[in-house]
Amino acid sequence: MAIRLVVGLGNPGKEYERTRHNAGFWLVERFAKASGVVLRKDGKFQALVGRHDATSAWLLLPQSFMNASGRPVQMLAGFFKIKPDEILVVHDELDFPPGVARVKQGGGIAGHNGLKDISQRLATHEYWRLRLGVGKPPPGREGADYVLEKPPAEEKAAIDGAIEKCLAVLPQMLAADMQGAMNKLHTEDKPPAKKEPPEKKAPPVEEPPRKQPEPEKKGLFSGLLGRKK
């Protein structure tokens, strides 16, 4: 089934736009820009909304803050009769390091407040999710504080790289080829296997030739001594 609604999760406002929690916004904004889609504020849906002309899919950035993301999704999906399995939610993921992205349908929400509200509003977990790794917080740090910080330059570059990979397969998702998109994205995430050099076989060890026992020499005296009188 084709994806008819792509939702990017994040928090509105300048103070949040560069934080890890806005990774979902980053991807959808870049897809909209690359596709020539204008995202306009729609008060009815409490979101920035645009339509992807090539596929007629809706792009949605909730402007109601993360923990209330479900209401704009529920309202737009209800208005256009979009089923949960036709929705793709793009969000930050603590369980993956920066640079990794994964697609899945349903499953646990791992304490993500945006997903929690969407699942409650839709009364199901069975929508699609595009998870952008942002890494785990260091020991002693709360995840809620960690995601509201700006990633350092190296991490941001890795996240941007993962977003580029996702943008390359997003058209497949919109065209209902979820499995093909997953196969391509998940394969590219894996580091190439190291080729082990072929095992060198040691040359066979040649045993030195065995010495043949010398024949016993029977001299004159041995012959004489060996005779019986």
Enzyme catalytic residues: 21
Amino acid at position 9, single letter: L
Token pair for 108: 């646990």
